[in-house]
Amino acid sequence: MKIEGNRIVDEEGRTLLLRGCNLGGSSKYPLSPPGETRRPDSLAATRDLSFVGRPFPEEAAEDHFERLRCWGFTFIRLILTWEALEHEGPGIYDEAYLAYLRKILLAAEKKGIAVFIDPHQDVWSRWTGGDGAPAWTLEMLGFDLEKLDAVGAAVTEQNHRRFNRDPYPPRMIWPTNYNRYAAATMFTLFFGGNTYAPGLTVEGEPVQEWLQGRYIAAMRHAYRRLKNCKAIVGWGSMNEPHPGFIGYRDLEGLENYPLAAGPMPSPFAAMAAASGHRVSVPFYSTRLPGMRSGRRLLNPQGLSLFKEGFVCPWKQAGVWTDEGGEVRLLRRDHFSSCQGKPVRFVDDFLKPFMRRFTSQIREVRPGTMIFIEGIPQGDHPHWTGEDPSGVVNAFHWYDGFILYMKSFRSWFSLRSDTGKPLLGRKRIAAYFREQIGKGAAWTRDRMGDIPALLGEFGLPFDMNGKRAFRTGDYRLHEEALALYYDAIDAHLLHSTIWNYTADNTHERGDGWNGEDFSIFCNGEGRAAAGWLRPYPLATAGVPLALNWDRKRRLLSYRFRADGGEAPTEIYAPPECLGEKPLIRLQSAAASGVVRAEYRPEDRRLLIFSGGYTGEVDLQAEGILPA
C-alpha cells in the first residue's frame, strides 16, 4: 500500500479503508519475569527480562491472526516498547525478541494482515507509572529507582500501598504521572534538553541528543532486523508524546495535565520534593477527578531522588535553588518560550523530532509510511509541503466520561471539554461525531490533507461495576462501541481500536494499571455487535459516504467508481448480513453494467463497475434466519 494525496491505496489503485486493532495491551510489560503492574515485585528486574511471547506465544500466532482476519481487522497497530528492544543497556539489543517478532510478522503476512509498528510508551516508563523506556534512561540521569514513589516523583500500582494510606485507585490515576517529576523531566529533556538544560550531558553528549539518538537507533535497528517482513507497511514515531514542563508559563501552577487526581504538585513543588524537601501539595479526589479535597505532604521522609554525584537538572539549569536552606524559584517562566517567542511544543519540539525519526527510519527502507501523533486529546503539529510526505496523522480519542468514570448510559453523558451534560442518544452520538471529527478536520485543514487514522479509541469493559462479567449482558458496551464506529464511518476514517489482549481475563484485565479494554477475553470476543460490522476494505474509486444501521442490518455505501477492472471489496460478515442479503445498486450506468456478488464464505461483497465511471449507491440489507 502507498499514500496518494489523502488516500491510502493498494497495488490496484483502490482506495483502502484500514480497520483493525492494537495488539496488544499486555505488550507493555515483560512476560519474564511477570510484569503485570498488580505484582509488587514486577519492577525489581531492570535489565534481566524478556518480552518474548508478547503479544502471544509463537505457536498461537496464526490462530489469533485468523480470528482477526475473520473479524475484518486486517490492519494492526503492533505494540513495541523501547524497553523490549534495549532493556540490558544502551546499544545492547534483544536479538531473541526480534527473532520472535519476525516469526509473529510472518504469521501475520500468511493471514493477509498488514502491520504498522507502534513504539509505545505511556508516561515514559514502567518505573514512572507506565511503560516504554528502559530503566537505564532514568538511572543515567542519577535517578534512584527505589525512591521514585517515595518522593512523589511517580505513582505506580506496584508501590502505591507502600506510600499511601488508600488502596490503588479503581479509576485511572496513571495519566497524572505526566505531570509528576520523573516523567515530566524525562519528556522535557528528550524533546527540549538543548533549549532548557543546555549544560546537561550524558556520556559526553547533550542529553537531548543522547536520549533521542538512543531511541531512534533502537527502532532503526529493529527495522533492519524486520525490514524483509512484508506485513510491515509503516512505523509510528512515538505513542502519545507529551511536552512535560515545556510550555509552562508559571512553574507554581498546574498546566499540561490530562486530569487532576491524587497529590498534584506544581513543577516547582515537584522539583523541590525530588531533591529531598517535604512539600505540601493539593490533593484531588481519585473518585471524582478534578475535585480538590485537601492537601497531602509530598516526600514526608525528606529523601532525595538522586544518587550521589547527581542533582536535579532544573536546579543545575538555574530554574530554582535551595542554597542556604531556603527553597526559591528563580525562573518561573523558564519553559514558556523558545528562541525568543512563546513556545508551541508540537511545532517547536515534537515536529523536529518527527522529521528526524522519519529521515532515519527511511534510511532502512525509503518511502516507509510514518504514523505521527500529537499530544493525546490535545494539539497536533502543522504539516506542510516542506515536511516529509508519506505521513499519516494517527490521532487518538477517548470519551473522558466513560474512560475516567467507568460508566455508560445511552441517555446521559458529560462533555469532556465543557463538563456540560448530554441528554439523549442523539446528542451523545452527535458529540462523538464532533469530537472525532476535530482530529480529521485538523488533518485536512492544517496538515496538508494527509491521511488520518484514529489510532486509539475504546472503552473499559469493567465499567458499570463489572456488571457484564456477572450477567454476560454486554448491550451497553455494544451501544457505546457502535456509537464510536458510527462516528468513524461518518468521517470515513481509518481506525485501530484499543485493544486485543490475548491473555485478558475478567480477573486481571489487560494486566496494566487496572485497565480492561480488550475486545478479546477468556478466549473469545466480547461485545462483538458493537464492533463487528461491514465496511469497504478496498474501493475502486473514491469513498463518499458510509453508514451501518446495526438495528436494521442495513449497509449504505456511496462511492465514485473510477472504471477500474478490480472490484470494490466490502467486508460483509454473515453475522451482520446473513447468507442472502437484499442488495440494491443504483448508478447512471446501463442496466447490468454495475453488479454485485456476495461471497459469504469469504465474508466479502464484491462490486464490479464494468468500466463505469461515476457514482454508485449500494444498499445491502441483512436477512437473517427466523
pLDDT tens-digit series, residues 301-334: 999 999 999 999 999 999 999 999 899 999 999 9
Q: How many CB atoms lie within 10 A of CB 9?
A: 16
Q: What is the DSSP letter of 84?
A: H
- Cβ-based neighbours of 15, under 8 Å, separated by 6 or more: 7, 8, 9, 538, 539, 541, 542, 543
* Spatial separation of the C-alpha atoms in residues 265 and 243, rounded to whole Å: 17
Q: What is the mean pLDDT of the chain?
A: 95
- β partners of residue 234: 116, 369
Confidence of residue 624 (pLDDT cuts 50, 70, 90): confident
Q: How many CB atoms lie within 10 A of CB 467?
A: 13
Q: How many CB atoms lie within 10 A of CB 479?
A: 18
Backbone angles phi, psi at 354, to 5 degrees: -60, -40
pLDDT tens track for 342-373:
999 999 999 999 999 999 999 999 999 999 99
Cβ density class 439-451: b for 16+ within 10 Å, e for less: bbebbbeebbebb
pLDDT tens track for 512-551:
999 999 999 999 999 999 999 999 999 999 999 999 999 9
How much is the pLDDT for 590? 85
pLDDT above 70 for 580: yes
* Spatial separation of the C-alpha atoms in residues 447 and 61, rounded to whole Å: 37
Q: How far is CA 421 from CA 109, 398, 411, 416, in A?
A: 46, 17, 10, 10
* Spatial separation of the C-alpha atoms in residues 109 and 98, rounded to whole Å: 16
Extract the C-alpha cell encoding 398.
477517548
How much is the pLDDT for 150? 96
Q: Which domains does the chain have, with CATH numbers?
A: 19-128+220-246+342-531 (3.20.20.80), 536-621 (2.60.40.1180)
The angle at the Cα of 427, spanning 421 to 429, to the nearest 5 degrees, equals 120
Name which of 306, 302, 299 is nearest 164 in CA terms: 299
Q: How many CB atoms lie within 10 A of CB 302?
A: 10
Name which of 221, 6, 244, 180 is nearest 98 in CA terms: 221
How much is the pLDDT for 8? 98
How much is the pLDDT for 163? 77
- Cβ-based neighbours of 168, under 8 Å, separated by 6 or more: 157, 160, 161, 514
Look at the alpha carbons of 65, 70, 75, 79 in this order and tell me if their dihedral is positive or negative. Answer: negative
Question: What mean pLDDT do residues 139-162 have?
Answer: 95
pLDDT above 80 for 209: yes
* Long-range contacts at 589-595 (CB < 8 A, ≥ 24 apart): 589/614, 594/561
Q: How many CB atoms lie within 10 A of CB 50?
A: 18
- β partners of residue 539: 15
* Active site members: 240, 456
Extract the C-alpha cell encoding 293.
479535597
For residue 431, the surrounding DSSP H or E stretch is: helix 425-446
How much is the pLDDT for 170? 63
Instruction: Record the pTM.
Output: 0.97
